[in-house]
């Protein structure tokens, strides 16, 4: 039997998976936003003499079928996907959490009313809702953002309501009410510490889902349309040239994979 002094210590500190995810995401953010600070090639500038040329010292990522810089287009597409995903998650999280706490706090008709609205959104497939909005106002990133936000808020609402109900009945919350503390104090001191880990996990997975939805819509030419750089649209543009320039097609696929992997690692819980 191993003596206590030679026993392996339990893993403590910042989870390794989350640290790896943050490192990957940080590298992608730098790749996306550094061209805005230090300048770079125009993602829309065409030069047919450079069509489908491979990586070189002039451009480390090569050129697409129209001679546009793949590095510049990938950076711009990353900014679009990350920006829309972050905006969608934040916009869905705030009302979802507040409505979930309100439903758990008040109960009764308010709980049933908000719950009925959330079930109505669940009855409509999320991708279909996004398709409807993009069909009403095509080629508008704001419609993608609005549609994804309307899909994501339901999950935050349901999870927040489920976690808040037993917390609001706990002795510590009852003691705070008897002492005269208001709703915001109870939310900050008793509910938020329990809700925050769940929101990090759900927010990371929600952002990954948003990125996949944006790319899928671009792949079927429904979301952001050319010449605006978007990862899904870039894939469908480069698909006919996969034999001549496989490196060009693989680059947006790899970027999507790295983004989703980073967000999954950030949201993953470390095993005890």
| 3-state secondary structure (DSSP) of residue 69 | strand
Q: Token digits for 120?
A: 């109505």
pLDDT in the model for residue 138: 67
Among 224-228, 255-259, 261-265, the least confident range: 224-228
pLDDT band per the 50, 70, 90 thresholds, residue 22: very high
Predicted confidence (pLDDT) per residue in 215-248, tens digit: 888 887 777 777 889 898 899 999 999 888 898 9
Check whether 106 has a pLDDT greater than 80: yes
Check whether 55 has a pLDDT greater than 60: yes
Sign of the Cα pseudo-torsion (254, 45, 47, 236, in order): positive
Backbone phi, psi, residue 131, to 5°: -65, -40
In the block, which residue shows the tokens 């996907």?
A: 81
In the chain, pLDDT over 90 holds for what percent of residues?
27
Q: Domain locations in the chain?
A: 69-267
Predicted confidence (pLDDT) per residue in 167-207, tens digit: 888 888 888 778 877 778 888 888 888 888 888 889 999 89
Check whether 8 has a pLDDT greater than 90: no
Q: Token digits for 36?
A: 């805005």
CATH number of the domain at 69-267, out of 3.30.70.1380, 1.10.3720.10, 3.90.930.60, 2.60.120.280? 1.10.3720.10
Closest to 237 in 3D by CA, of 56, 81, 73: 73
The answer to whether 264 and 205 have CB atoms below 8 angstroms apart is yes
Instruction: Name the packing angle between helices 231-238 and 70-106 (round to 10°).
Output: 140
Check whether 133 has a pLDDT greater than 80: no
């Amino acid at each position: 039997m191993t003596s206590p002094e030679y026993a392996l210590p339990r893993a403590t500190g910042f989870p390794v998976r989350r640290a790896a995810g943050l490192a990957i995401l940080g590298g992608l953010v730098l790749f996306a936003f550094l061209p805005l600070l230090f300048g770079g090639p125009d993602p829309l500038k065409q030069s047919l003499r450079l069509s489908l040329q491979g990586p070189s010292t002039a451009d480390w990522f090569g050129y697409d079928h129209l001679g546009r810089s793949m590095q510049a287009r990938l950076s711009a597409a990353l900014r679009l996907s990350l920006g829309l995903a972050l905006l969608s998650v934040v916009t869905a999280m705030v009302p979802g959490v507040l409505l979930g706490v309100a439903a758990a706090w008040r109960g009764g008709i308010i709980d049933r009313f908000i719950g009925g609205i959330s079930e109505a959104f669940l009855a409509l497939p999320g991708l279909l809702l996004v398709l409807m909005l993009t069909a009403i106002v095509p080629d508008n990133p704001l419609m993608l953002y609005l549609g994804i936000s309307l899909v994501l808020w339901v999950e935050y609402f349901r999870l927040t309501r489920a976690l808040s109900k037993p917390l609001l009945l706990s002795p510590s919350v009852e003691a705070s009410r008897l002492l005269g503390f208001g709703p915001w104090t109870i939310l900050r001191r008793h509910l938020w510490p329990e809700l925050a880990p769940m929101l990090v996990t759900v927010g990371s997975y929600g952002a990954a889902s948003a990125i996949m939805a944006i790319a899928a819509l671009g792949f079927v030419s429904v979301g952001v349309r050319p010449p605006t750089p978007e990862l899904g649209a870039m894939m469908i543009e480069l698909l006919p040239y996969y034999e001549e320039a496989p490196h060009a097609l693989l680059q947006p696929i790899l970027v999507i994979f790295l983004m989703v992997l980073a967000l999954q690692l950030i949201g993953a819980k470390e095993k005890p």
